[in-house]
Amino acid sequence: MSPRRTAAAIAFLYLFLGYIWISFSDRFVFTLAAESAYLTQLQTYKGWAYVTVTALLLYVLAHRALQRERNLSERDGLTLLLNRHMFERELDSELAYAKNKDHNLTVIILNIDGFKQINSHVNLEAGDRFLVQIADIMRDSCHQQALLARFGGDEFAIALPDSRWPDAVVPLIQQIQRRIQHLHVAEAPRLNFSSSAGISLYPRDGSTANSLIDAATLALDEAKNSDRGSYKLFNAELSQIVSSRAQLLLDLKEAVEQKQLTVVYQPQFCVQKNIMTGVEVLVRWHHPKKGMIPPSDFIPLAEESGLICAITDFVMHQAIHELTTHELLYRDIKRVSFNVSAADFNHSESCERFIANLSSLPGDWSVIELELTESAALLNLEGIKNVLDVLRQRGVQVSLDDFGTGYSSLNTLRLLPIQEVKIDQSFVKDIIKNKQDAKLVRTILAMAQALHLRVVAEGVETHAQANYLMSAGCEEFQGYLYARPMSIEHLVTFIRNLKQQRAQP
């Protein structure tokens, strides 16, 4: 019911009760003391009774309204834990007390790894129920003096007054993490979850609520970057790392704006037919002061900061321009693979972006292949599917990269319009020595063959690996054994040399 209707209903009820009171109370008084000396006194008592009853009614209504307003301003509406504002306020009070009593205090920021899978695989309601379960675990695990909060999304906070590090804190964090690992969503029982935590200590890491929360958040970021499902304690070195990352981000923004990035090409081969089947386009960044920055350093940074879409656009435009200018596309190169991120599909204009990027192609769009990792696909499965369905109608091919490392490979294959899977290099690396990896590769190959999917093995570096993969039925290879990533000029020379080799008797 709207506030206006609620207020009107209360006013109508008050008016109705007042009318009933006045009508029947007067009759009752006259019945008791008609023409009596007590009539005036009874009328006074009746008036006081009316004032008392209405005052009690107003008190109940005002108390409930104020309590609701207070809960809305202090509590998270879903979990009923403190919201961020009240957590900071209560934490400052606890810090003042801790300073007075010379006590210590611990702040923990907790984040759920893989939580977005619920929204993409199930629905928002299931996600809300999961967050309520997290809140219940926190209440059950922490003592009554602890401050518990939800900052928003899947981020929670805990403040533990007078808690010893590590004796009282580490067992608590490990207990919460274990219990979260055992949580399951009924609609998607195969989904697995973990939680990462960042920790800061008073007075070592700060003396205010904001400084301790910031320190714990930095530690949380480091935990998620290094090993999900872990916890990290803030230290001065982390502050230096964060400062370096912030500077690197500024440099990356400038590199994107000034078009200082470059692209390279790594050929893919069908060894049995002795032909090059395509190239994967990779991005490189040569920093003017720091030299070559590995993609493993700046790509995650670009995804976190929202720069990845601009990088994707640059890579696609630049590669198509270079390959077309050197007359390699369609003639010598029949397939060009681009790595795309989940963020490339997060906006309403994502489909238009890809179409604009590919509009300069001089021929059929089937020469283009988009490579998407399983983990990225799971972040926004429905949105990605909608975009890929449109692009697939125009001929664009889709490859599932790092196949076998995700949470639900078969489900991803079933839902997305995929023509190719890439065996992750982590399986290829030890395929000769590790029987489990060998079995997994053979299973992937058998499944791909049954589904009529093309398979490319990544990271092939030795003849032993290549021979094993060929005997298992894999036909296409990519790796240092055959060719390293190279510039467009070197690619032209490489293709010319290949042609000369094939022409020789």
| Residue type for position 484 | R
Cis ω before 166 (30° cut-off from 0): yes
> 379 phi and psi, to 5 degrees?
-75, -30
Contacts of 317 (CB under 8 A, 6+ apart): 357, 360
Strands (E), 135-215: 147-152, 155-161, 194-202
Provide the residue-wise pLDDT of the chain in tens; the chain has 505 residues: 555 676 677 777 777 777 776 766 666 666 666 555 566 666 676 677 777 777 787 777 666 666 555 555 678 888 989 999 899 999 999 999 999 989 999 999 999 987 877 766 677 888 889 999 999 999 999 988 899 999 988 999 999 998 888 888 999 999 999 999 888 888 777 777 889 999 999 999 989 999 999 999 989 988 887 777 899 999 877 777 777 888 899 999 999 999 899 999 999 999 888 899 999 999 999 998 899 999 988 998 898 888 999 999 999 999 999 999 999 999 999 999 999 998 898 888 899 999 999 999 999 999 999 999 877 776 777 788 899 999 999 999 999 987 766 544 566 777 889 999 999 888 899 899 888 889 989 988 998 888 899 999 999 999 999 999 999 999 899 999 999 999 999 999 999 999 888 777 6
Looking at residue 294, the DSSP 8-state letter turns out to be: P
* pLDDT at site 244: 83
Helix axes 39-74, 3-33, angle to 10 degrees: 160
Neighbouring residues of 337: CB distance < 8 A, sequence distance ≥ 6: 268, 278, 279, 280, 281, 369, 370, 371, 399
pLDDT confidence of residue 420:
93
Distance CA 93, CA 324 (A): 65
H-type alpha helices, 75-163: 84-101, 116-121, 124-141
Q: Which two tokens stand for residue 72?
A: 């809305």
ω before 203 within 30° of 0 (cis)?
yes
Q: How high is the pLDDT of residue 150?
A: 93
Determine the Cα–Cα distance for residues 181 and 229; give it in Å rounded to an integer.
Answer: 9
**What residues form DSSP beta bridges with 370?**
338, 398
Interior/surface letters 164-183, b for 16+ CB within 10 angstroms, e for the rest: eeeeebeebbeebbebbeee
Residue 265 belongs to what H/E stretch?
strand 261-270
Burial class of residue 422 in the structure, from the number of CB atoms within 10 Å of its CB (0-12 exposed, 13-18 middle, 19+ buried): buried
Smallest CA-to-CA distance from 344 within 388, 374, 301 is with 388
Which of 72-98 are b and which e, b meaning 16 or more Cβ less than 10 Å from the residue's Cβ? Answer: eebbbeebebbbbebbbebbeebbeeb
User: DSSP secondary-structure letter at 329?
Assistant: B
Contact criterion met (CB below 8 Å) for 162 and 95: no
CA distances from 457 to 32, 181, 271, 272 (A): 100, 32, 12, 14
Residues in the chain: 505
CB-based contacts of 143: which residues, under 8 Å, 6+ apart?
160
Q: With residue 465 as reference, give the H or E element that holds it.
A: helix 463-472
Predicted pLDDT at 392: 94
340 in Cβ contact with 380 (< 8 Å):
no
User: Cα 192 to the chain's mean position, in Å?
Assistant: 14
CA 501 to chain centre: 48
Distance of CA 114 to the CA centre of its chain: 7
Structural domains of the chain, with CATH: 3-74 (no CATH), 84-235 (3.30.70.270), 256-503 (3.20.20.450)
Residue pair 399/370 in contact by the 8 Å Cβ criterion: yes
- Compute the distance between CA of residue 403 and CA of residue 424 in angstroms, rounded to an integer: 6
Q: Which two structure tokens, joined as six digits, stand for 441?
A: 């590769």
In which residue are the tokens 């060929």 written? 470
Query: Alpha-carbon distance 438 to 199, whole Å?
Result: 41
Dig out the tokens for 228 from the structure.
Answer: 């999900």
Cβ neighbours around 21 below 10 Å, total: 15
Q: If DSSP codes are grouped into helix, strand and coil, which group holds residue 199?
A: strand
Alpha-helix residue ranges (DSSP H) falling in 205-349 = 209-226, 236-257, 295-305, 308-325
Nearest to 458 by CA among 410, 409, 402, 404: 402
